[in-house]
């Protein structure tokens, strides 16, 4: 908690959050082995090294303190509250993928475009990396909304439980295509030139498939060889590549052209994740189904990885639905839609009455104050 | 506990060999010799434990692991079941796939050396399995043996007097590392470089990628080869000849310093100082110091001087 005097807004949020936790259940896998961290108005993690014996103890604390941010470790420790870190005795850790709109261009307020883009990133991560390449089953994946504008994909599996930071860094680098090299996927042996087939695992296969798919685009095809204008030539090349034959394809300057295309296509083949989060074995991450103090939205747990396709954060993640409230904008607020209610833009200084979820969102964003 | 004293002697020779040559001699796996071999291995572990020195443990681990590789490389075609048996000891199951093998992702990441050759992004990865060659499979088992010994030793127990005496003699044989590791003016080095030098002085087995990056840095920072070699002397698998060759090779090839993001992907970035490449660190720190401490005119002069 910040300072000695809490603002009206801060008091109000604590009351609302406390009510929320008193009427909801908390469930965290392996709760007694996790480290917890709480944050407030000023900082997302103000206190860490907390631990709880069971769900009712944690819930009682959440009701009493109503922290604005609640995180827990991905790691399981023998002594989660011990410090410094080595004393905790690390036993293992879930694998995490953090997808966020941070790098996207919208500012402080959540925009639909960003949400859509991050959702597409998350679907790509699951469908093109976690399931086919890493071989995780859907039941090993737990997906939740971050509560702000991203998603967290937790992998709970014996296959990754005791991997160290370096191993996790390799996984993160794989997903983001870091260290990917054309020379390692294509090579010369004697006079022959070798490359990946479409059915091959890893980025080799991804490239072969993407390359074949792009051949339908004439400008792409022609940039490789003029003869590829002809459908029958395209078909011949497709069939050769599908079998992994990049050798006798009758293209001049073959290696140079392919490596250029490879460099161009690298980014679209790779996934977008925060690699540092994946590699960090002592990271604290938002507790699923807790409220994010920067939005008043729930870090809502999805019923299954598939549920993400139809999940609409601005509609389903807000949790408060009591009476409308009067607020005064302390800065200009853009047009927004929360829980299917459209409002704004609101110029700075103006007073509006808004549904509770919208009001709490603006208070959490520190963009409005309660109008007495 | 009673141990045949000739075994203690032989086991001591084995540990001495590991220190001096970095290798443990391969013995023909004859049935009669097998019992002795097992006993020697067990006693050698006790001797190393008695000496209780991290450099010795790590160097011994490297030597035993190399021996495993020697055995398995020659056995893998004649007796593939030996390789499978050793793999099973580490809970690894290699699945045959043409001339190659499939290994579960987690085991791959745990037991491959961290080098660009094994970078996961350039591997065939499918359904949770990674494809490796026979040679790479044996290399993984070498790494597994090394990690196991490093983790298990020292054993804590009351050892017989002759084993203890042996441990003391072995300890006396160790090179005097404190004097071998030069005092380098480390205060200007970036945190990642300082950390690597520190780890080497603690006899940590740095991954190959990290060693290359460190050597390139030191070459580029203008350190002569013999000084660089002194820094690498702490590596448990240090070899005078190989290190000299490699440092000279990097020097003549004029390799570029890996960028900070590459260093990060090697897992050696420790501070996120955002200087682009570790080589910029000194300039950056210097620049910042100037901004803080000096009035404007002097800063401008200082910066232009810094660029020369």
Q: Does residue B282 form part of some domain? A: yes
Domain boundary among B116, B148, B172: B172
> pLDDT confidence of B184, banded at 50, 70, 90?
low
Q: Does residue B112 form part of some domain? A: no
Residues of chain A positioned with their CB less than 8 A from the CB of B262: 179
pLDDT digits (tens, 9 = 90+) for A302-322: 999 999 999 999 999 999 999
A368, containing H or E segment: strand A368-370
B219, containing H or E segment: helix B208-220
Average pLDDT, chain A: 93
> Would you state the pLDDT for residue B284?
55
Per-residue 3-state assignment (H helix, E strand, C coil) for A282-316: CCEEECCCCECCCCCEECCECCCHHHHHHCCHHHH
Q: Within an 8 Å CB–CB cutoff, is residue B261 touching chain A? A: yes
Domain tally for chain B? Answer: 2
The residue among A128, A168, A200, A202 with the most chain B CBs within 10 A of its CB, best to mutate, is: A202
Please state, as a whole number, how many other Cβ atoms lie within 10 Å of the Cβ of residue A76. Answer: 21
Residue B210 and residue B78 share a domain: no
Mapped onto helix, strand or coil, the DSSP state of residue B63 is helix
CB atoms A173 and B122 under 8 Å: no
Find out whether the peptide bond into A287 is cis, omega within 30 degrees of 0: no
Please compute the mean of the pLDDT values over residues B123-131 and round it to a whole number: 97
Helices B134-152 and B80-89, axial angle in degrees (round to 10): 40
ipTM metric: 0.91
Q: Does residue B203 form part of some domain? A: yes
pLDDT(B270) > 80: no
Residue B197 and residue B247 share a domain: yes
Residue B196 and residue B249 share a domain: yes
Please compute the mean of the pLDDT values over residues A265-276 and round it to a whole number: 93
CA of A164 vs chain B CAs: smallest distance (Å): 8
Q: Please tell me the distance from the alpha carbon of residue B214 to that of residue B246, in angstroms, as a whole number.
A: 12
Residues of chain B positioned with their CB less than 8 A from the CB of A202: 121-126
Instruction: Among A163, A167, A179, select the one facing B119 at the smallest CB separation.
Output: A179
Q: Within an 8 Å CB–CB cutoff, is residue B207 touching chain A? A: yes
Q: Please tell me the distance from the alpha carbon of residue B181 to that of residue B199, in angstroms, as a whole number.
A: 12
Q: Does residue B146 form part of some domain? A: yes
Residue B78 and residue B28 share a domain: yes
Q: Please tell me the distance from the alpha carbon of residue A126 to that of residue B291, in angstroms, as a whole number.
A: 47
Q: Does residue B128 form part of some domain? A: no
CA of B261 vs chain A CAs: smallest distance (Å): 9
Q: Are strands A47-50 and A69-73 parallel, antiparallel or unpaired?
A: unpaired
> Would you state the pLDDT for residue A102?
66
Cβ atoms of B102 and B130 within 8 Å: the answer is: yes
Q: Within an 8 Å CB–CB cutoff, is residue B100 touching chain A? A: no
Residue B281 and residue B197 share a domain: yes
Residues of chain B positioned with their CB less than 8 A from the CB of A181: 119, 121-122
How far are the Cα atoms of A43, A286, B110 from residue A89, in angstroms, in the given order? 27, 22, 19
pLDDT(B129) > 90: yes
> Would you state the pLDDT for residue B177?
54
Report chain A's terminal Cα–Cα distance, integer Å.
23
Instruction: Among B109, B126, B262, select the one facing A170 at the smallest CB separation.
Output: B109
B247, B174, B233: which is closest to B200 by C-alpha?
Answer: B233
Sheet holding B125-126, edge to edge: B95-97, B100-104, B129-132, B125-126
CB atoms A167 and B122 under 8 Å: no
Q: Does residue B103 form part of some domain? A: no
Cβ atoms of B111 and B147 within 8 Å: the answer is: yes
Q: Within an 8 Å CB–CB cutoff, is residue B267 touching chain A? A: yes
Size of interface A-B (CB pairs under 8 A): 85
B38, containing H or E segment: helix B31-51
Residues linked to residue A333 through DSSP beta bridges, in sequence order: A346
Residue A159: closest CA among chain B residues belongs to which residue?
B106
pTM: predicted TM-score of the whole model, two decimal places: 0.80
Q: Please tell me the distance from the alpha carbon of residue B140 to that of residue B120, in angstroms, as a whole number.
A: 14
Residue B261 and residue B211 share a domain: yes
Mapped onto helix, strand or coil, the DSSP state of residue A93 is strand
CB atoms B121 and A178 under 8 Å: yes
A102, A72, A16: which is closest to A297 by C-alpha?
Answer: A16
Per-residue 3-state assignment (H helix, E strand, C coil) for chain A: CCCCCCCHHHHHHHHHHHHHHHCCCCCCCCHHHCCEEEECCCCCCCEEEECCCCHHHHHHHHHHHCCCEEEEECEEECCCCCCCHHHHCEEEECEEEEECCCCCCCCCCCCHHHHHHHHHHHHHHHHHHHCCCCCCCHHHEEEEECCCCCEEEEECCCCCCCCCHHHHHHHHHHHHCCCCCHHHHCEEECCEEECCCCCCCHHHHHHHHHHHHHCCCHHHHHHHCHHHHCHHHHHHHHHHHHCCCCCCCCCCCHHHHHHHHHHHHHHHHCCCCCHHHHHCCCCEEECCCCECCCCCEECCECCCHHHHHHCCHHHHCECCCCCCEEEEECCCECCEEECCEEECCECCCCEEEECHHHHHHHHHCCCEEECC
CB atoms B120 and A135 under 8 Å: no
Write down all domains in chain A, each with its CATH number in brackets. Answer: 8-176+275-316 (3.90.920.10), 182-269 (no CATH), 325-370 (3.40.5.50)
Residue B276 and residue B221 share a domain: yes
> Would you state the pLDDT for residue A41?
87
SS3 content of chain A, % helix, strand, coil (to 5): 40, 20, 40
Cβ atoms of A100 and A85 within 8 Å: the answer is: no
Residue B29 and residue B164 share a domain: yes
CB atoms A201 and B207 under 8 Å: no
CB atoms B121 and A133 under 8 Å: no
Residue B60 and residue B20 share a domain: yes
pLDDT digits (tens, 9 = 90+) for B10-33: 888 888 888 877 777 766 555 667
Residue A158: closest CA among chain B residues belongs to which residue?
B106
pLDDT digits (tens, 9 = 90+) for B131-168: 999 999 999 999 999 999 988 888 888 888 888 899 88
Domain span at residue B84 reads 5-92+138-172
Within 13 A of A23's CA, how many CA atoms are on the CB side? 7
Q: Please tell me the distance from the alpha carbon of residue A320 to that of residue A339, in angstroms, as a whole number.
A: 10
Residue B163 and residue B47 share a domain: yes
pLDDT digits (tens, 9 = 90+) for A118-143: 999 999 999 999 999 999 999 999 99
Please compute the mean of the pLDDT values over residues A286-298 and round it to a whole number: 97
Q: How does A140-177 read in b/e, with b if 16+ C-beta sit within 10 Å?
A: bbbbbbbbbbbbbbbbbbebbeebeeebbbbbbbbbbb
Cβ atoms of A363 and A370 within 8 Å: the answer is: yes
Phi, psi for B233 (deg, rounded to 5): -55, -25
Residue B228 and residue B153 share a domain: no
CB atoms B119 and A135 under 8 Å: no
Residue B228 and residue B285 share a domain: yes
Q: Does residue B274 form part of some domain? A: yes
Q: Which residue has the higher pLDDT, B54 or A28?
A: A28
Q: Does residue B132 form part of some domain? A: no
Q: Please tell me the distance from the alpha carbon of residue A16 to that of residue A315, in angstroms, as a whole number.
A: 19
Please compute the mean of the pLDDT values over residues A193-203 and round it to a whole number: 93
pLDDT(B264) > 80: no
Lowest mean per-residue pLDDT among B15-24, B100-109, B125-134: B15-24
CB atoms A201 and B124 under 8 Å: yes
Catalytic annotation, residues of A: 98, 100, 274
> Would you state the pLDDT for residue B75?
67
Question: Taking the mean position of all CA atoms in its chain, how far away is CA B142?
Answer: 12
Please compute the mean of the pLDDT values over residues A98-107 and round it to a whole number: 77
Share above pLDDT 90 across residues of chain B, in percent, rounded to a whole number: 24
């Amino acid at each position: 908690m910040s300072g000695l005097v809490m603002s009206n807004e801060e008091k109000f949020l604590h009351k609302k959050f406390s009510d929320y936790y008193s009427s909801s259940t908390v469930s965290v896998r392996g709760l007694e082995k996790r480290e917890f961290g709480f944050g407030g108005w000023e900082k997302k993690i103000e206190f860490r090294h907390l631990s709880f014996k069971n769900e009712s103890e944690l819930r009682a604390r959440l009701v009493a303190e109503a922290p604005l941010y609640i995180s827990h470790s991905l790691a399981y420790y023998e002594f989660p509250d011990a410090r410094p870190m080595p004393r905790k005795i690390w036993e293992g850790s879930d694998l995490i993928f953090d997808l966020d709109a941070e790098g996207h261009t919208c500012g402080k307020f959540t925009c639909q475009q960003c949400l859509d883009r991050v959702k597409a990133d998350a679907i790509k991560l699951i469908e093109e990396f976690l399931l086919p390449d890493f071989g995780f089953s859907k039941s090993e994946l737990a997906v939740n909304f971050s509560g702000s504008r991203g998603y967290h994909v937790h992998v709970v599996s014996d296959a990754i439980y005791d991997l160290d930071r370096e191993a996790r860094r390799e996984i993160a680098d794989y997903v983001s295509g870091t260290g990917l090299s054309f020379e390692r996927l294509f090579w010369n042996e004697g006079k022959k030139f070798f490359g990946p087939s479409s059915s091959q695992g890893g980025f080799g296969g991804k490239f072969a498939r993407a390359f074949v798919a792009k051949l339908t685009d004439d400008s792409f095809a022609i940039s490789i060889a003029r003869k590829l204008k002809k459908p029958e030539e395209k078909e011949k090349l497709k069939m050769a590549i599908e079998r992994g034959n990049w050798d006798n394809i009758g293209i001049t300057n073959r290696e140079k052209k392919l490596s250029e295309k490879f460099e161009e296509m690298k980014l679209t083949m790779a996934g977008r994740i925060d690699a540092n989060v994946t590699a960090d074995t002592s990271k604290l991450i938002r507790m699923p189904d807790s409220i994010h103090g920067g939005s008043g939205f729930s870090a809502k747990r999805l019923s299954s990885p598939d549920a993400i396709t139809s999940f609409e954060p601005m509609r389903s993640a807000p949790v408060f639905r009591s009476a409308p409230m009067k607020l005064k904008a302390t800065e200009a607020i853009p047009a927004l839609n929360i829980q299917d209610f459209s409002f704004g833009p609101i110029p700075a200084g103006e007073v509006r009455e808004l549904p509770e979820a919208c009001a709490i969102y603006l208070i959490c964003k520190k963009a409005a104050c309660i109008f007495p | 506990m009673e141990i045949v004293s000739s075994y203690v002697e032989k086991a001591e020779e084995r540990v001495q060999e590991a220190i001096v040559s970095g290798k443990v001699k391969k013995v023909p796996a004859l049935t009669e010799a097998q019992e002795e071999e097992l006993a020697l291995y067990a006693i050698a572990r006790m001797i190393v434990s008695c000496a209780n020195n991290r450099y010795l443990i790590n160097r011994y681990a490297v030597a035993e692991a190399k021996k495993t590789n020697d055995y398995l490389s020659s056995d893998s075609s004649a007796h593939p079941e030996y390789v499978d048996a050793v793999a099973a000891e580490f809970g690894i199951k290699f699945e045959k796939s043409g001339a190659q093998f499939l290994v579960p992702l987690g085991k791959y990441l745990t037991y491959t050396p961290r080098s660009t050759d094994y970078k996961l992004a350039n591997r065939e990865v499918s359904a949770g399995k990674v494809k490796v060659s026979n040679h790479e499979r044996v290399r993984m088992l070498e790494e597994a043996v090394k990690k196991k010994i490093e983790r298990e030793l020292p054993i804590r127990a009351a050892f017989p007097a002759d084993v203890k005496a042996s441990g003391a003699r072995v300890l006396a044989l160790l090179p005097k590392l404190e004097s071998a590791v030069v005092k380098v003016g480390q205060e200007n080095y970036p945190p990642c470089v300082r950390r690597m030098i520190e780890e080497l002085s603690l006899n940590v087995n740095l991954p190959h990628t990290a060693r290359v990056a460190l050597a390139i840095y030191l070459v580029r920072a203008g350190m002569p080869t013999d000084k660089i070699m002194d820094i690498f002397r702490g590596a448990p698998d240090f070899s005078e000849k190989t290190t000299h060759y490699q440092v000279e090779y990097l020097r003549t090839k004029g390799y570029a310093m890996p960028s900070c993001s590459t260093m990060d992907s090697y897992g050696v970035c420790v501070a996120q100082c955002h200087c682009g490449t570790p080589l910029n660190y000194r300039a950056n720190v210097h620049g910042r110091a100037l901004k803080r401490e000096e009035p404007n005119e002097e800063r401008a002069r200082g910066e232009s001087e810094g660029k020369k």
